Chains A and B, each alone.
Chain A
Amino acid sequence: MLLVLFRLTLFLICIYTVRHYWFTLNRLFGRQRHPYVDLENAAWPAVTVLIAAHNEEAVVTDILKALMEVDYPREQLTIVPVNDRSTDRTREIIDAFVEEHPFVEPFHRVSGKPGKAAALKDAMELVKTEIVLIFDADYIPGKALIRQLVAPFFDPEIGAVMGRVVPLNVGKKSLTRLLDLERSGGYQVDQQARMNLRLVPQYGGTVAGVRKSALDEIGGWNEDALAEDTDLTYRLLCAGWKTVYENRAECYEEVPERWPVRVRQIKRWAKGHNQAMARYIGDTAKCSELGRWERIDGMLLLGVYVMGPVLLLGWLLAVVLFYNGAQIGGGLTVLALGAFTTLGNFAAFFEIAAAARLDGSRQRIRLLPLTLFGFIVSLISVSQAAWQQAEESLFGTKELVWDKTERSRVAPVLEDPLPAFEESV
């Protein structure tokens, strides 16, 4: 029995390992798909930008200022800071900004269900445009970002768009440097490979856009979702809408600078993702709108955070079976290899290496061995989250809270020029 379980574990790990190799090789040597990136002229549609802000006094000014600079027809752009029950100076800061920029239309939410999905759901009542873009308040969009995120919506099949997240506070701590590598692997390789291979790029909830009619068709934001982004990706997918990833739609974000904040963040992601897995893996398997590989990838993507506990279980089984004299062959070796290539917030180490190469960052790749520590922390956190979730489902559900990621920024950063590519003649 244990041997069968062990072999099943091994099988799953191997599948994910192959998946990561496939993605990395595709990204390095395959045909790259950026079908919407060249859209320069078009009848740009009216767009609403929602900025989710819950106690964001330290960062909200930066995103509002950045949005004033974007290259998008002003008459087609509505900016709505969604101040969700903030208890700090967020409301005051937004109102002061609105006085100077009357076309910004704030939405101050003072009551209602907690959580980003609930806040967005309420804010959607104000949205009159077909295209809605969503940013978290700690993001700093570049000049062309709005156009880059809107361009894919000229494709009538696209329900949601996801851009690339780039950490801004990289040099602050060792943790931020490791997270920078992880993010590179996750976006530059993993998401783009899924885009190349016409699989299931994931809508990530920020630096992202959604088509309102598609959202209405699937019943709007799901307030009960712990990860409204994964939830939306799969509901759209099963309804015949596609999500696309725009690797060149880059936006700065602030990553956690302290390990406890990082642990809370990844646990929240894991719980949300696992909840989506339980809800949608059956629908994804049965969905007639999906191609074979799209369906398989959709199911594998849902399972990524379950692979943490699966891996720990595999290690435990390997040791138990080994000391009981069972013939496990090279399983331990395979597990050790798989460990590195399976988790780490989607970014297996070779994905990270490939991403660093594609990004042209030569020195930071030296930090690669240290991602082992990040990997172990993630592995334990994700497994803990799964365990807590199992407990909660057995013994009752806790009230949903918006476990917001703590910000480290203490003052606006836009006074300093951000690093940027300049076009050269």
Chain B
Amino acid sequence: MSAWAPLALTSLTAALLALPVTPALFELWKRADAAPLPTSRHDGRIGNFAEVFRSRLHPLLPQLEQCRNQRELSRVSMEGMEVLLVGRDDFDFDPRLTEGISAVMLSEAALIPPGYVVEADVYTGIGLDLGECAALRAALCEGDIILGENSAVLRWLHADGSIFLRRGSNAYGRLSAGRSIRLEPECGFERMSAPQITTVDTDQRDDSPPQRDVRELQPADVCDRFASSRPRLRIQGNFVLPAGETLNANVIATGELRLAAGARLFGSAKSYKDTVIDEDACVHGSIVSGETARLGPRCFVAGPLMAESNVLIARGSRVGGPDALTTISSDGVRIAAGCHLHGTVWARVRGSVEA
């Protein structure tokens, strides 16, 4: 046997043993992925996309003003974005003009004709009207926005004023408004945020306030839900607060939790299964449901309202208040017409408005 044989065997064995750790040693040496994991540093607000977009386009406002004075179109490149500046009020989003454009900035109101698909993000300082069956990627408007019937927004939409979604329109992604959002039946949404969110019937298209069939928010409705003096009731199984009764406690039920008609709970409610709030009942605190939360007609919930499956809200209900914004969060959210919500509605899968 050759004298090299033991050496070769030893070398081969050492190489085989080293093989699994070779990538590790290589990574230790190269330090290709040695930075701290990035953490989420933004505040998670729905309007953040719009704010980022606004700040990116802000330097172009003087040029936009110039275009407006000269009633012309101008194409500029900025940070890898092709931006079309529109200083005319007759711009019709002709696909030949918007081809290869990342963003369109308009000094006048934007009117997107019915059936058009606009792939660029839109900024307008005045107003935006999306025609029937039209589709838009994203838009920021310093005035009001109207989405025509069966239209769609694919990524995000923000209005400093109000947004009105007409029947059958869909807002995928984020929808936020500085003043209010109004939705007609058959509208779809995912995340939306505004001080006032109302669902209206199709015949309420004018600017008159929706039918006032919900009672006004009373001072007691915004009670301190973190008062440490409030007792805690923990019930194994189902819990029912009988009709017309009032309870001052935080209630936790390991089964279903129900507030019968007209009952009032001063405190928060948690159930492992469904939470059912019957008509005219009030929860002056939060609701946390392990499955579905159902609000009957004319209910009031101070909020937040969180359910792990679905939230169903019947006509005339109110969640939160204009001065006490709150959050509704669930996989699915179904809201009947005639409801008033204040703050954020977050449907992780899909939200819809029903007649």
A364 touches B34 (CB 8 A): yes
| Cα distance, A344 to B46, chains bound together (Å) | 39
Chain B's closest residue to A148 (CB) is B44
Chain B's closest residue to A69 (CB) is B41
Q: Out of A177, A213, A251, which one reaches B39, CB within 8 Å?
A: A251
Chain A's closest residue to B25 (CB) is A370
Task: Pick from B59-67, B93-101, B108-116, B226-234 the stretch touching chain A.
Answer: B226-234
Which residues of chain A come closer than 8 Å to B3, judged between CB atoms?
Answer: none
Contact of A264 with B by CB under 8 A: no
Bitwise interface map of B from 323 to 355 toward A, beta carbon under 8 Å scored 1, else 0 = 011110100000000000011101010000000
Which residues of chain B come closer than 8 Å to A359, judged between CB atoms?
Answer: 37
| Cα distance, A144 to B42, chains bound together (Å) | 7
Which residues of chain B come closer than 8 Å to A168, judged between CB atoms?
Answer: 36
Bitwise interface map of B from 290 to 310 toward A, beta carbon under 8 Å scored 1, else 0 = 000000000000111010100
| Cα distance, A22 to B214, chains bound together (Å) | 48
B267 touches A36 (CB 8 A): no
Tell me the number of A-to-B contacts counted with CB atoms below 8 Å: 185
Chain B's closest residue to A154 (CB) is B286
A418 touches B41 (CB 8 A): yes
Which residues of chain A come closer than 8 Å to B222, judged between CB atoms?
Answer: 43
B45 touches A40 (CB 8 A): yes
Which residues of chain A come closer than 8 Å to B35, judged between CB atoms?
Answer: 170-171, 419
Which residues of chain B come closer than 8 Å to A130, judged between CB atoms?
Answer: 226-228
| Cα distance, A280 to B35, chains bound together (Å) | 39
Q: How far does the Cβ of A403 sit from chain B's closest Cβ, in whole Å?
A: 26
| Cα distance, A216 to B45, chains bound together (Å) | 34
B44 touches A366 (CB 8 A): no
| Cα distance, A184 to B37, chains bound together (Å) | 10
Q: A71 with B43: in contact, given A42-B303, A154-B286, A157-B252 (CB under 8 Å)?
A: yes
Which residues of chain A come closer than 8 Å to B34, judged between CB atoms?
Answer: 170-171, 177, 364
B37 touches A423 (CB 8 A): no
| Cα distance, A422 to B39, chains bound together (Å) | 9
B27 touches A363 (CB 8 A): yes
B138 touches A156 (CB 8 A): no
Contact of B24 with A by CB under 8 A: yes
B225 touches A154 (CB 8 A): yes
Chain A's closest residue to B249 (CB) is A156
Bitwise interface map of B from 206 to 225 toward A, beta carbon under 8 Å scored 1, else 0 = 00000000000000001011
Determine which residue in A155, A166, A368, A369 has the highest number of CB atoms from chain B within 10 A of its CB, and name it. A155
Q: A144 with B36: in contact, given A45-B226, A155-B288, A174-B28 (CB under 8 Å)?
A: no
Contact of B80 with A by CB under 8 A: no
Q: How far does the Cβ of B141 sit from chain A's closest Cβ, in whole Å?
A: 15
Which residues of chain A come closer than 8 Å to B44, judged between CB atoms?
Answer: 40, 144
Contact of A327 with B by CB under 8 A: no
Q: A425 with B33: in contact, given A156-B251, A366-B26, A369-B24 (CB under 8 Å)?
A: no
Q: Out of B27, B32, B40, B304, which one reaches A39, CB within 8 Å?
A: B304
B38 touches A156 (CB 8 A): no
A421 touches B52 (CB 8 A): no
Contact of B49 with A by CB under 8 A: yes
Which residues of chain A come closer than 8 Å to B251, judged between CB atoms?
Answer: 156
B327 touches A41 (CB 8 A): yes
Contact of B20 with A by CB under 8 A: yes
A156 touches B42 (CB 8 A): no
Contact of A361 with B by CB under 8 A: yes
Q: How far does the Cβ of A404 sit from chain B's closest Cβ, in whole Å?
A: 23
Which residues of chain A come closer than 8 Å to B308, judged between CB atoms?
Answer: 33, 35
B326 touches A43 (CB 8 A): yes
Which residues of chain A come closer than 8 Å to B342, judged between CB atoms?
Answer: 41
B325 touches A41 (CB 8 A): yes
Which residues of chain B come closer than 8 Å to A171, judged between CB atoms?
Answer: 31, 34-36
Which residues of chain A come closer than 8 Å to B252, judged between CB atoms?
Answer: 156-157, 240
Chain A's closest residue to B343 (CB) is A41
B40 touches A248 (CB 8 A): yes
B329 touches A39 (CB 8 A): yes
| Cα distance, A16 to B279, chains bound together (Å) | 49
Bitwise interface map of A from 407 to 425 toward B, beta carbon under 8 Å scored 1, else 0 = 0000000000011111111
B346 touches A423 (CB 8 A): no
B33 touches A362 (CB 8 A): yes
Q: A367 with B24: in contact, given A35-B288, A144-B40, A144-B42 (CB under 8 Å)?
A: yes
Which residues of chain A come closer than 8 Å to B227, judged between CB atoms?
Answer: 130
Determine which residue in A71, A169, A421, A425 has the highest number of CB atoms from chain B within 10 A of its CB, and name it. A425
Chain A's closest residue to B156 (CB) is A425
Q: A418 with B36: in contact, given A130-B228, A144-B44, A147-B43 (CB under 8 Å)?
A: yes
Q: Out of A33, A288, A363, A419, which one reaches B36, CB within 8 Å?
A: A419
Contact of B169 with A by CB under 8 A: no
Contact of A38 with B by CB under 8 A: yes
Which residues of chain B come closer than 8 Å to A418, judged between CB atoms?
Answer: 36, 39, 41
Which residues of chain B come closer than 8 Å to A340, judged between CB atoms?
Answer: none
B225 touches A142 (CB 8 A): no
B27 touches A366 (CB 8 A): yes
Q: A361 with B41: in contact, given A33-B308, A156-B251 (CB under 8 Å)?
A: no
Which residues of chain A come closer than 8 Å to B344, judged between CB atoms?
Answer: 38, 40-41
Chain B's closest residue to A289 (CB) is B234
| Cα distance, A219 to B288, chains bound together (Å) | 27
Determine which residue in A39, A240, A419 has the highest number of CB atoms from chain B within 10 A of its CB, and name it. A39
B24 touches A153 (CB 8 A): no
| Cα distance, A289 to B344, chains bound together (Å) | 34
A40 touches B343 (CB 8 A): yes
Contact of A212 with B by CB under 8 A: yes
| Cα distance, A423 to B34, chains bound together (Å) | 23
B33 touches A166 (CB 8 A): no
Q: How far does the Cβ of A234 sit from chain B's closest Cβ, in whole Å?
A: 17
Bitwise interface map of B from 225 to 260 toward A, beta carbon under 8 Å scored 1, else 0 = 111100010101000000000000011100000000
Contact of B21 with A by CB under 8 A: yes
B43 touches A364 (CB 8 A): no
Contact of A167 with B by CB under 8 A: yes
| Cα distance, A98 to B326, chains bound together (Å) | 33
A166 touches B52 (CB 8 A): no
| Cα distance, A143 to B40, chains bound together (Å) | 9
Q: Out of A156, A213, A370, which one reaches B270, CB within 8 Å?
A: A156
A38 touches B346 (CB 8 A): yes
Q: A419 with B31: in contact, given A40-B327, A154-B286 (CB under 8 Å)?
A: no
Chain A's closest residue to B27 (CB) is A366
Q: How far does the Cβ of A194 sit from chain B's closest Cβ, in whole Å?
A: 16
User: Hey, which bits of chain A sit against chain B, CB under 8 A?
Assistant: 33, 35-36, 38-43, 45-46, 71, 130-131, 142-144, 147, 153-157, 166-171, 174, 177, 180, 184, 212-213, 216, 240, 248, 250-252, 288-289, 359, 361-364, 366-370, 418-425
12 contacts between A and B (CB under 8 A): A39-B306, A42-B325, A42-B326, A43-B222, A43-B326, A143-B43, A144-B40, A156-B250, A166-B39, A171-B31, A289-B234, A424-B52
Known: A41-B344, A144-B44, A363-B32. 5 other contacts (CB 8 A): A35-B308, A166-B37, A166-B39, A167-B36, A213-B228
